[in-house]
Structure 1
Amino acid sequence: MLGVVAIALGGPEVLRVTELPEPAAGPGQVLVRVRAVCVHPADVAATTGKIPGGPVSPPFLPGWDIAGEVASVGPGAEQFQVGDRVVGMIPWYLTRGAPGGYAEFVAADVGWLVPLPDGLDFAAAATVPLNAQTAHQGLALVSAGGSPVGSILVTGAGGGVGGFVTQLAVRGGYRVLAQAGDGDEEWVRGLGAHQVVSRSADPAEAGPVAAVFDAVPVGAAAAAAVEDGGVVVTTRPTPPIVPARGVRQEVQLIRLDRELLADLVGQVAAGLLRTRVAATMPLTEAAEAHRRVLAGGLRGKLVLTLG
C-alpha cells in the first residue's frame, strides 16, 4: 500500500510517498480502507518535532482523522462489517505515528471509530473528529469552575476548532465574540456569532469578557480581553499569561471520547453543526498540503483523498 512517511524532522520536504506493507486487522480491530484524511496543524507540528511530549523519532506516519470503509474485521470486532462506512480519530498522542492516517489502509481499534452516516461525505467527515472534540472538551474546561459564563471571545473562529467552538458556545447560551480573518466574516456570522472581531484588531478591545477560547492560540494579546477572575483556554501549552488577576488558565489537549465523537458526527450529518473543506488533494500531494497549511489563509480544512 502507499503511505506518506516523515523520514526526518523538518518541513514538508521530509514527507515521502512510500510503498508500505498492508496491515492486518488484529483482535479488536478493523482494517479501514482510507478514503479521506484531514491535514491538521498538528501534523505539521509532528513533522517539525514541536508537539507535547517531545518529538517522535522518524520514520512515522502523520495523520489523526480518517474516514473510509471497513475492508476486513478482526476477532472481537464484529460490531462492524466489511463495507461499513466509518469515521474516526487515531489517537496520535498515543500511537505516535504507528499507525498514522496518511496511508491507504489503517488497522484501527474499534474504539477509535464510529459509523459514518450516509448523508455525510468522506472528506467533510474527516474534518470533524479532532476539531469538534477539542472544541467540546475545551468548552467544558471553560465551565469547569462552576461559575456561569456569559460572554466568550473565540480566536481563530474561521478555523476548524474555532468554528466548532463558536457554534457550540452559541448553542450553550454564551454571548460569542468571534475573531475572524479578512474574508471569513460572513462564514463566522453564519455560525451564529453575536459579534465578529477583525483579526487585525486588538483582541483586548473586545473585552472585558468572562472567558477566552484561544484556538489559534494568540497568547497574551487574547488573554488581555478576559476580566479579572475569568478563564482562558488555549489549544497548546503556553507560559502563564495572566498572572495576578485571578484568571484561571487551562490547556485543552485532546482525548478520544467515542460516545462524544459519535454525537458530534451525527450533528454534522444532520446539519446541526457546520464544517467546511477548503480543498481536497491526492494523498501523494501531502507535502504540498503541508506547504499550504504553513502558508496560511485557508478557508476550511485541506483533506487528502484516496481512491
Structure 2
Amino acid sequence: MSEITMQALVVEEAGAPLRRVTLPRPVAGPGQVLVRIAASGVNPLDIKIRAGKAAHARQPLPAVLGLDLAGTVEALGDGVNGYAVGDAVFGMTGGVGGLQGSLAEYAAVDAALLAHKPASCRCGRRPHCR
C-alpha cells in the first residue's frame, strides 16, 4: 500500500521562496486531531522565520510554516473527546518549525488547541464572522 500524502508549502532555506511539495500526511497521535485545513493565516513570526530573522525562534529547515488554521476534523487520536469526524474547527498548530505548520492540506493538532467553529462564522472569502 502506498503512503498517504498531502501538499504543503515549505521554506527550505532562509530568504528562499515557499515551495509546494508533497509530504506524508500526518497521523493523529494520542490527544491529537487530524484537521483538513480550509484556511490558514500567515503570522508575523512566519515571515521572520522565513527571512532568517527570528533569533528567538530559530527553526531547522526545511519547515512548513503557519500557526493558525480553520478546517474540518478528519480523524481523532486516542483519548480525544468532544470532537467528531466532520466537525468544523479553528485553532493553532501549537508550535513553529518542523513539518507541522498550517500552510498544508492537513495538520495533526493537540485537541486542547482547537475550538468548534461558531455556527455564525462562515468560511469563505470574507475574513470575518457574520
Query: Smaller-chain TM-score range?
Result: 0.7 to 0.9
Aligned pairs for 1:143-292 within 5 A: 269=129
Secondary structure at the residue paired with 1:5? Answer: strand
Match for residue 6 of structure 1 among 11, 18, 22: 11
Q: More helix by proportion, 1 or 2?
A: 1
How many residue pairs align between the two structures? 125
Q: More strand by proportion, 1 or 2?
A: 2
Give 4+ residue runs of structure 1 displaced > 6 Å after superposition.
none
> Which one-letter code corresponds to 1:10 in the other structure?
G
Whether the aligned pair in 1 keeps the contact of 2:40 and 2:70 (CA below 8 Å) is yes
Is 1:57 the counterpart of 2:38? The answer is no
> Which one-letter code corresponds to 1:116 in the other structure?
K
2: CA distance, partners of 1:63 / 1:24:
18
2: CA distance, partners of 1:102 / 1:2:
9
| Runs of 5+ consecutive residues of structure 1 not aligned to the other structure | 128-267, 272-307
2: CA distance, partners of 1:2 / 1:39:
17
TM-score, normalized by length of structure 1?
0.38
Secondary structure at the residue paired with 1:80? Answer: coil
The structure with higher relative contact order (CA 8 Å, sep 6+) is: 2
TM-score, normalized by length of structure 2?
0.86
Secondary structure at the residue paired with 1:43? Answer: helix
Q: In the alignment, which residue of structure 1 is the partner of 2:76?
A: 73
1:57 positional shift: 1.9
Whether the aligned pair in 2 keeps the contact of 1:67 and 1:123 (CA below 8 Å) is no
Percent identical: 36
Q: Point out the structure with max Rg over C-alpha.
A: 1
Q: In the alignment, which residue of structure 2 is the partner of 1:99?
A: 100
| Runs of 5+ consecutive residues of structure 2 not aligned to the other structure | 1-5
> Which one-letter code corresponds to 2:27 in the other structure?
A
